[in-house]
Amino acid sequence: RAIVRDIDMLEEQNPSISLPDPSTLEVDPTMFEKRYLKKVRDLGEGHFGKVELCRYDPRGDRTGELVAVKSLKPENSEEQSSNLWCEVGILKELYHENIVKYKGICNEEGGSSIKLIMEYLPMGSLKDYLPRNKVNTSLKTLLKYAVQICQGMDYLGSRNYIHRDLAARNVLVENESTVKIGDFGLTKSIKENEGYYTVKDDLDSPVFWYAPECLVHGKFYRASDVWSFGVTMYELLTYCDTTRSPMTEFLKIIGPTHGQMTVTRLVKVLEDGRRLPQPEGCPDVVYAHMGKCWVNTPNDRIDFKGLISVFQQMLA
Ligand code: ADP
Ligand code: MG
């Protein structure tokens, strides 16, 4: 009591002393302190970001949990930093079994830059996993992955987001039978009345996964994600064989060295109706559904719900 009274007096005499509010003394479990984050190894990198495996070990006895930590590559500028902030804001609000779980953030340099902390999936991306596990991954398993990716994407669409970077490199493997969408760096919110998102200057675009309307007008619809899903499906069926990658195959069609002209040539061949080839061992009915993702007019494409029911029927 006496101490409380003394403190009250102290506060009155010196208002700059602010006492901790007991309710905030509880630690925020989504705030990770940099000093306790110990790097174990690199997990991978993409255009803007790099992801490291870290142990968050406040007790310093290596009993802390393993987490995946995404930060911007040092060469990336301030404008990209807002990208990571956006990614945090989006991922934080997403709750789905086929979307990687957000854990929190770590503030650096007085809050100007941040790291995104998410659950660690030891098996890595489909691009790492499939080439190594070809023999024990059946067509049935690939179709299960396809359903799960579609379910994650359908959920994302229901929250009015367009992913814009759906590809095998951005799908993570939780275990032999479960995958999760794991990179929301290019995800954008769409205004309900417009139904699409316009890109201004996106030089880093994954062009070989993009639908014609994205390449020509820089417009992204939910249906543009469906196109990219078709390309991702193609990657699944080729077990992410790099000698058969979407880029390799498209460059074969358009010829390899067009520099700036590559996108123009790509648009031309797509408009002429050329498509990625049917992967070896891919059933006709599966390839036919990739084709339904690759219809020129966005409105005429199949949607994620349609794909889910078709693949589930094939699995039944
Ligand atoms: P970028 O935005 O730079 O493309 P990603 O989020 O796609 O970064 O991550 C890059 C790579 O890091 C992925 O392709 C994957 O191999 C690896 N990775 C990312 N997140 C995780 C995770 N949570 N667990 C395990 N590996 C991951
Ligand atoms: Mg990525």
Complex confidence, ipTM: 0.98
Judge whether 144 is annotated as a binding position. Answer: no
pLDDT at 192 exceeding the cut of 70: no
Mean pLDDT of 224-234: 98
- pLDDT of 10 strictly over 60: no
Angle, vertex CA 126, rays to CA 204 and CA 208, nearest 5: 35
Calpha distance 190→153 (Å, rounded): 14
Q: Tell me what pLDDT residue 83 has.
A: 82
Cβ–ligand 1 contact at 250 (below 6 Å): no
Mean pLDDT of 73-94: 81
Report which protein residue has its CA nearest ligand 1's atom 19.
51
50 annotated as belonging to a binding site for a ligand: yes
Contact, 279 vs 237, CB < 8 A? yes
Q: How far is the CA of 187 from the centre of ligand 1 (A)?
A: 15
Nearest listed ligand to the Cα of residue 103:
1
Q: How far is the CA of 1 from the centre of ligand 1 (A)?
A: 54
Whose atoms come closest to the Cα of 70: which ligand?
Answer: 1
Residues 6+ apart with CB under 8 A from 237: 142, 279, 281, 282, 286
Q: What is the pLDDT of residue 258?
A: 73
- Do residues 91 and 7 touch, judged by C-beta distance below 8 A? no
Residue 183 Cα to ligand 1 midpoint, Å, equals 7
For ligand 2, the distance from its centroid to the CA atom of residue 185, given in whole angstroms, is 7
Q: Can you say how many angstroms the Cα of residue 316 is from the centroid of all Cα atoms in its chain?
A: 29
27 is in an annotated binding site: no
- Measuring from atom 12 of ligand 1, which residue has the nearest CA? 44
Q: In whole angstroms, what is the distance from residue 68 CA to residue 124 CA?
A: 11
The pLDDT tens digits of the residues spanning 238-276 come to 999 999 999 999 999 998 777 778 889 999 999 999 999
End-to-end CA gap in the chain: 70
> How many residues are listed for the chain in this entry?
316
Ligand 1 atom with the shortest distance to the CA of 73: 3
Helical packing angle, 304-315 and 222-237, nearest 10°: 30
Give the pLDDT of residue 300. 98
> Is 47 one of the annotated binding-site residues?
yes
Q: What is the pLDDT of residues 276-304, one digit of tens each?
A: 999 999 999 999 999 999 999 999 999 99
Which amino acid, residue 289? H
Computed over every residue of the chain, the mean pLDDT equals 89
What is the four-CA torsion angle of 271, 142, 221, 266, rounded to 10 degrees? Answer: -30
d(CA 147, CA 133): 19
Confidence of residue 203 (pLDDT cuts 50, 70, 90): very low
- Closest atom of ligand 1 to CA, residue 87: 2
**H or E stretch covering 114:** strand 113-119
How many beta carbons lie within 10 A of that of residue 211, not counting itself?
26
Per-residue pLDDT band for 82 (boundaries 50, 70, 90) equals confident
Q: Is the pLDDT of residue 163 over 60?
A: yes
Helix (H) or strand (E) holding 50: strand 49-56
- Ligand 1 contacts CB of residue 124 (under 6 A): yes
Place of tokens 């040092």: 74
Ligand 1 atom closest to 51 (CA): 12
